[in-house]
Amino acid sequence: MGPQGATGGADAVDPKVRRMAMLAAADQAIGKESDILDSLAAAFSEAGYHLYLVGGSVRDALLGRLGEDLDFTTDARPEATREILDAWADVVWDTGIEFGTLSAERHGRQVEITTFRADTYDQVSRNPEVTFGDTLEGDLVRRDFRCNAIAVELHGDGSRTFLDPLGGFEDCVAGVLDTPGAPEVSFGDDPLRMLRACRFSSQLGFDVAPRVREALNEMADEIERITVERITVELNKLIGGADPSRGIDLMVDSGLADLVIPEISDMKMTQDEHRQHKDVYQHSLQVMRQAIDQEAPGEPDLVLRWAALLHDCGKPATRSYNEQGNVTFYQHEVVGSKLVRRRLKKLKFPKKTIQEISQLVYLHMRFHGYGEGKWTDSAVRRYVTDAGDLLERLNKIVRADCTTRNRRKAARLARACDSLEERIVELAEKEDLARVRPDLDGNEIMEILDLQPGKQVGQAWNYLKELRLESGPMEREDAILALKKWWHEQEEKEQHDGA
């Protein structure tokens, strides 16, 4: 599969035509930024330095997807860059000046400029000894992939020149990820680049070169040198890509997933001899793809994507066979939810994100407890209440979880989803389903039962909430009668137990 650009797949277009089209598209995209680029280039030129647009900015311009983030490199040392930017920009940040990087903003647009680097690595940590270089090629050769090692020199007169000493342009044309030097050296310098290969495969739709794939397979365990925080950033970028299945496949096949998130590769279960269950791994990828298809335009919904991918991760630990020899996965949603919480906690995901993803995994089977047209008011209330703010995402996962090729079964499940959502709307018109609370609050309970704050008040509140879920809203007088009856039964039970 070729890169995803404005000119279509690489296989569908003559390479020469594609090269010309990509260069023209890039030149046009960069030209649209002339308001900021020309003045910045002129400022560096007047000071006697060169300025280059570089890295992902050039790659994305060639692929027809240039965004607002613009990255530059220069032969100017950090102190000289700071002096130039102070005169040119509205605001300058020098928090990265130790590494040769300064950021600036002019007329609401941000830029990041880094002095040529010629770092050296010890092949033990991923922290380089930062040294500044003297040549553009020396700076480019230290980058992760050749497609990210293309530069555009910006001249002071507004003209520009494409520079590609390492062949990154041809990689963009072919849709290939390859390293500037030997991949073993590149990944040894910084093992995070292995996960970046998976991430770029997801974001760009690129394949990895054979030598890169071989190095991934041989060096996967080097990823353990990387901090968990950096791994998590790459995982989120991967799953937020245009086609995360590509990146996940590469991560699983190379063995990286075994080390960073084994719950994914564990789903590659060997099917039983009768093939009574689906390939859980492939099914999960398909569910994720179908969930993505339901996303609203804009930013990817990472919570939805993670939950869809991991919804069945509890199946490997719960697979069993009943007396008839049929395969079962009883309570896999409960086990899966626990696995997700444990793994995401190790990966240091935010607490709220962990709660949301694990809750969606826990709830994804709730829908299947009811057949088409069999949703009672009580069942709808409980479904909505348990889902809470996750209701819309839960409904998307339920729909995405249908990957059967049986058209009748698929149509039946779709009708059941439609029926549930219709019932939710109908009941919501009568009740406030977003806030199902008891008909009496804690203060009223204490006053009616003459109680002090404590456990008994909480028990009474929980009883009224269950009653509310089961029966719907009640008149105040009916709620009071129900509360008093329940309290009387509790007192009688205590007396009986104490006798």
CA gap 91, 84 in Å, rounded:
12
| Alpha-carbon separation of residue 256 from 102, 222, 419, 465 (angstroms) | 33, 9, 42, 47
The pLDDT value given to residue 145: 97
CA gap 384, 435 in Å, rounded:
9
Mean pLDDT per 10-residue segment, the chain (499 residues)? 43 77 92 93 97 95 89 96 96 92 93 87 63 92 95 94 95 95 94 97 96 98 96 98 97 97 89 60 95 94 98 92 82 95 98 97 85 72 85 94 84 85 78 62 79 83 76 75 81 72
The pLDDT value given to residue 307: 98
pTM to 2 decimal places: 0.82
Q: Looking at domain 189-260, does it have CATH number 1.10.110.30?
A: yes
CATH number of the domain at 10-181, out of 3.10.20.30, 3.40.50.300, 3.30.460.10, 3.60.21.10? 3.30.460.10
Beta partners for 200? Answer: none
The pLDDT value given to residue 498: 64
The pLDDT value given to residue 7: 38
| Alpha-carbon separation of residue 260 from 173, 195, 257, 403 (angstroms) | 31, 10, 5, 27
Domain with CATH 3.30.460.10 in the chain: 10-181
Q: Under a CB-based contact definition with an 8 Å cutoff, are residues 169 and 150 in contact?
A: yes
| Alpha-carbon separation of residue 443 from 464, 483, 487 (angstroms) | 13, 13, 16
Domain with CATH 1.10.110.30 in the chain: 189-260
